[in-house]
Amino acid sequence: MEITLHLRILLTFFMLWLSNFISIENQQFIGFVGIALLGIVHGANDLTIGQQLKEDISKSWGVRLLLKYITIVLLGMVVFTLLPSYGLLLFILISGYHFGNQHWTLEMPSSVQRLWMLFQGSYGLLVLGILFCFHEKEVQAIVQTITQKSYPDLWIQEITLFLGLFVLGLGSFLVKQSVAFRSSIGRNLFYLIVFSLIFYHAGLIWGFSMYFVLWHSVPSIQEQIRFLYGTENARSWWYYFKSSALYWSLAVGTMGIAYWAIANDTVFKAIFFSLMAAITFPHTLIIAQMKRAMQKKSRTLRSDFY
């Protein structure tokens, strides 16, 4: 894990340096390719994870799970189509929780579980807020395209400042509740500094893709591999990519067609984030359940050991 962290840091600063020699258009193209290659694939095994969570490999359960997954995706797309403003807000809130849940994978006392979930969500929203602050005009254009409404002021800087203070305040309370939380503070503060450097120096899509791929998707894939196969090695990575090939091909194919067919850059970004939102809704639910199952298994192993 330590080598992986060092590698992510090196790749991050290499990509920041590389951005000085690549046009904005090419940065965006490479960013979308990166999201397609590793970003989308990290959600391509949701159905496999869902089956293992239920410890049920029957065809009937697999079909029911697939239908539920597709239903949630379709509902997400319907919300984005009919109520785009609410759909976009819901997407941001769920994505914030999903990102925060990935960074803060800790087991907290049951007495503070709701506050812990609130902290995770606020931290993830803070990361997004920092990204939006550095690219406010572009974010406004995308929001306007998605919602078909004009928002002269999204209050991004004020909301991000509030989130920062809220995370600081709630973290000051949680630091008294868990030794593991206290030991994770330094690492996650360092992450925030790295993310801020990424978002400041890179364009919106280039910066988001660096964060989404290197700092969210890759750690998530590693965690999913350990859950599905028990260990992380070359063979388990191969099994992971093999089992996700069909879903990944469909998603990447759809994105590729949309990229080449839509001439308007802002419209494509709006459609891209809308599709990401529809997929994010069920993915967040499944990953949250997976993390709870892993924590439960860890507790069981500890109790058996002692």
Tens of pLDDT, residue by residue over 269-278, are 666 766 777 7
**Residue closest to 124 by CA, chosen among 287, 14, 298, 4:** 287
Q: What digits encode the pLDDT tens for the residues 156-212?
A: 999 999 999 999 999 999 998 888 888 899 999 999 999 999 999 888 889 999 999
Give pLDDT tens digits for 19-73: 888 888 888 888 878 887 777 788 878 878 887 877 655 556 567 777 777 787 7
Query: Nearest CA to 194 among 13, 36, 70?
Result: 13
Q: Apex CA 161: angle with CA 158 and CA 166, to 5°?
A: 125
Q: Which two tokens stand for residue 130?
A: 């920092």
- All residues at 6 or more sequence positions from 237 whose CB lies less than 8 Å from its CB, including other chains: 225
State the pLDDT at residue 96: 92
Compute CA 26 distance to the chain's CA centroid, rounded to the nearest angstrom. 23
Q: Name residues whose C-beta falls within 8 Å of residue 23's C-beta, 6 or more positions apart in sequence.
A: none
**Residue 44 main-chain phi, psi, to 5 deg:** -80, -10
Give the type of residue at 157.
Answer: Q
pLDDT at 2 (0 to 100)? 47
* 259 closest CA partner among 205, 303, 296, 299: 205
Which pLDDT does position 305 carry in this prediction? Answer: 47
Cα radius of gyration (the chain): 19
Whether residue 212 contacts residue 131, with contact meaning beta carbons closer than 8 Å, is answered with no
Lowest mean pLDDT among 30-39, 40-49, 88-97, 255-264: 255-264
What sign does the CA torsion over 181, 227, 220, 290 have?
A: negative
Residue 115 has pLDDT above 90, yes or no: yes
- Coil/strand/helix, residue 231: coil
Mean pLDDT of the chain: 83
pTM: 0.85
Place of tokens 């967040």: 284
